[in-house]
Structures are given as C-alpha cells and as structure tokens.
Structure 1
Amino acid sequence: MPQSEDVTVHQVPYYAQWESPELVPDILAGTCLAAEDPRWEQSGAADPEEYEYWSWRVCGMACLRMALDHWWGVAPPAVTLAEEARAAGAYVRHEDGRLDGLLHVPFAAYARERWGLAAEARSPLPPEELPGLLAEGRLVMLSVHPSIRTLHPQPPRQGGHLVLAVGATPQELLIHNPSGFPDGSQKFAPVPWEDLPRFYAGRGIVLGPHERAAAG
C-alpha cells in the first residue's frame, strides 16, 4: 500500500474502552460483566450499571483519551467525555437505551471546540493517505469492524468500531484498539495493509495538535 519505505510510530499512551484492559477477553466472552470491572469508578460513571452501558460504546472516547494524553498530557474519564460528546450532538441517546453515534462531524467539532485539537471528519478516507497523515504528526480514528482484533478472515461487514492509527510501515498499519486483547492486539497492533480493506469502512477522523486555547 505505502509507496515509500518510511516508518512512522507515535508513542501514544493506550486506553481501552473498559477500565481494566486485562479483562477485555472475559468481558467480550460474557464470562465477566463490565459492571464487575473493579475499576469502573475511574470511568466517571455514576454507578456500575451506567458504566456497563457506556463501556460498550466508548471506543471513540478511548481514542480521544489517547490523543489528549499524547498531546496535552490529560486523559479525562471516558464516561465524562461521552456525556460531553452527547451534549455536543456526537451521540444521540434514546429513551429506550439505543444510542446513535459516534457521529463523526459533530464529534470533530466537539474535539476542536472543547479540546483545541485539529479534527476533521473524512469520508472517504483512502488507506493510501494514512501513512502520509501519520508522517505529518497526525493520529487517525478509523471506522473498522471489531474483529480486526484477530484479523478475522471473513468479517460480516466493515466499520462499527473505532481504533486509533498510531503508526505505519511499508508492510502494516499500527493501531491502538480500545477493544483489543492483551496478547498483542491492544497496543501498536499490526494490521497488514492487504488485510485492512476487509475491516475498514473507508472513513475516519483525522486528529492533530493545535493551539490549546479552546480547551479552557
């Protein structure tokens, strides 16, 4: 995919969408409830039930936390960020519990206005552009299917989950995956370029550092 031999790897801190990254396999397998996560209070949720609800839906907030920690040295709690993003129109929470989002355009506006980031929702966002964006110092939130954590040979669809692209080599894209497994698919997880298209929906949010005056 990339045309150059350049290697870019940004040393971005990692956050899972659950407060205990080591529990992700058990939570996804259903052998442990998210509400049983002993670190749930760190999420900013009011109670374990609220944490259970949001923890399955905050892959985008985990990506934002990584970017904020990388550039600004802060990582606000995931549920706190989610409620802010909801108030900004990036999520729509219905009375029956359904949640629409993360909506990329209002989220990008929220990231700019609240956190002073350069943020642009891009659709389409071709894979060929990712190495150049990363080389420029950007990080990219990508819409992928969650089975990217195991490089599943036949995902049922593309998209539905957000990961953060943090590096690129001529052979592979490196991602921080908020729902990855601690055996190697959480931090700097390699995704060969030839495998990416079957997971990637071709859209994402390009993030960059900016003047922090707007973060307040």
Structure 2
Amino acid sequence: MSPPPETVPFFSQWETPDMTLDVLADGADVALRRDPLWRRSGAETLDEYAIWAANICGMACLKMILASRGEIVPTIELARRCTLYGGYVVNEGSIKGLIYAPFVSFVKEAFGLRAEVMTNVATSDIPAIMQRTRFFIASVSSSIRWPEREPPSKGGHLVLITAASDEGFRFHNPSGHEPATQADAVLSPADFDRFFANRGIAVAI
C-alpha cells in the first residue's frame, strides 16, 4: 500500500502507549494506576484517569484528527466536553459511549469539523468514503490488534482509518499493543472485514 498523503500523529488512549498488555493482563483499573504519565490525559485525579482511559478510544481518535491540523487537546478534557453533549453517559463510575450522534454535534460546534454517522457500511464502501472525507472512525473488535486471530465479536472499539484502497486499509489503533499495531497499521480489506462492525463516523477537516 502506498504511503499516506500526510502524516497523522498517533496517540494511544493511555498516556503510556505500551501499557496495553498490562491492561489486558491486570485490568484497566489496576494497570492504569501504574501509568506514570497519567496527568497528561487531562484527568484531575488518578481515579478519574483509571476510569476514563479504558473508555476513550473515540477521544483518542478525535485527538489524532485534531493533531493533524496542529491542535493538541488532552483526551480526558475531550471526554468531559463530549459528555456535556451527551456523547457519554456517566453513572456511578460506569461509562456508556461513545454515542455517535451527540459526538457529531460536539465536534461540529467545538471544532468546526464536518462529521457524519454511517451505518450499514460494507467494508468495500470504505475506499469510496475516504475519497470524499479525510478520516473514518470505524467500529471494530478490539482484537484487531491480533489480526491473525478470529475475533470473538465485532465492534466495541474504535480505530481511525487514515487511508483506504482496494489493496489495504491504513489505520491508527488507540489500544494497539506494539508499534506495528498502533500507528499506521495496515490490513487487507478481507482481514479488516473480520473485525469491522459495519458502522462508524466519517470526519472531514
């Protein structure tokens, strides 16, 4: 696959990007309390960071989109602002979201981004979508970090597609467990399809 038309900065949903395996082994609440860089997230407390960081793959995707035009906004600051629009529902330490429609309103009003919720998207449709927009936030299984495995289900996690063709999809995965599965990971359309839940958000800057 050809190089992307421009470099899109990568950000993990945890402030220390190589913590994914620790999170999988020990659970987010335990592992993320060991993250020495947690304050960079915009969290006010370690408790706040440990709760949010496991749920903000969407905000990590948004942070990367904003960074591509030179704006750096901490992920949990984004999450708080998105929550005000209804993009997350927070209830006694549990977090539901990302909820797509309020997210679209949030990014339009806060950052002037043009975004569209898309459902019933065939994997083969994504290259055409990418021809008329800059990014596609795709709902996939988090096990996309292990493309050689069969996913237990589709959806539940978000990745940022930065380039797509009939030969392959290039994407940033906020919870990749090693460099090759974090920034500019590439899968064939057939492999991507095994993880893709046929929905997402197209975003133009």
**TM-score surpassing 0.5?**
yes
Q: Please state how far the C-alpha of 1:151 moved relative to its aligned partner.
A: 1.0
- TM-score normalized by structure 2? 0.92
CA contact (8 A) 1:7 1:170 kept: no
Listed as ranges, the gaps of 5+ residues in structure 2 are none
% identity of equivalent residues:
36
Match status 1:99 vs 2:98 = no
The structural deviation recorded for 1:9 is 4.4
| SS of residue in 2 equivalent to 1:121 | strand
Residues 160-209 of structure 1, C-alpha deviation per residue, up to 9 Å, x if partnerless? Answer: 00000011243211110000022400011012111122211100000001
Q: Is the 8 A contact 1:146 1:161 kept in 2?
A: yes
Q: Work out whether 1:53 is the aligned partner of 2:83.
A: no
Q: Which segment drifts farther, 105-114 or 131-140? A: 131-140
* Residue-pair matches, total: 203
In the alignment, structure 1 residue 74 sits paired with structure 2 residue 71 = yes
Of the structure 1 ranges 59-68 and 122-131, higher mean CA displacement relative to structure 2 is found in 122-131
Equivalent of 1:155 in 144, 151, 155 = 151
Higher relative contact order (CA 8 A, sep 6+): 1
Return the match for 2:40 from 39, 42, 48: 42
**Is residue 122 of structure 2 the alignment partner of residue 126 of structure 1?**
yes
> 1:155: how far off?
1.1
C-alpha change, 1:9 and 1:200, in structure 2 (3 Å) is farther
Q: Quick one: distance in 1 between partners of 2:195 and 2:136?
A: 15
Q: Which has the higher helix share?
A: 2
Answer yes or no: is the 8 Å Cα contact 1:166–1:175 preserved in 2. yes
Runs of 4+ with >3 A deviation: 5-10
Query: 1:212: which partner in 2?
Result: none
Distance 1:208 1:151 in 2: 28
Give unmatched runs, 5+ long, in structure 1.
Answer: 210-216
| 1:110 aligned residue | 106
Match of 2:180 among 177, 181, 184: 184
Normalising by structure 1, we get a TM-score of 0.88
* Equivalent residue letter for 2:20: V
Tell me the C-alpha RMSD between the 2 structures. Answer: 1.9
Distance 1:11 1:135, change over 3 A: farther
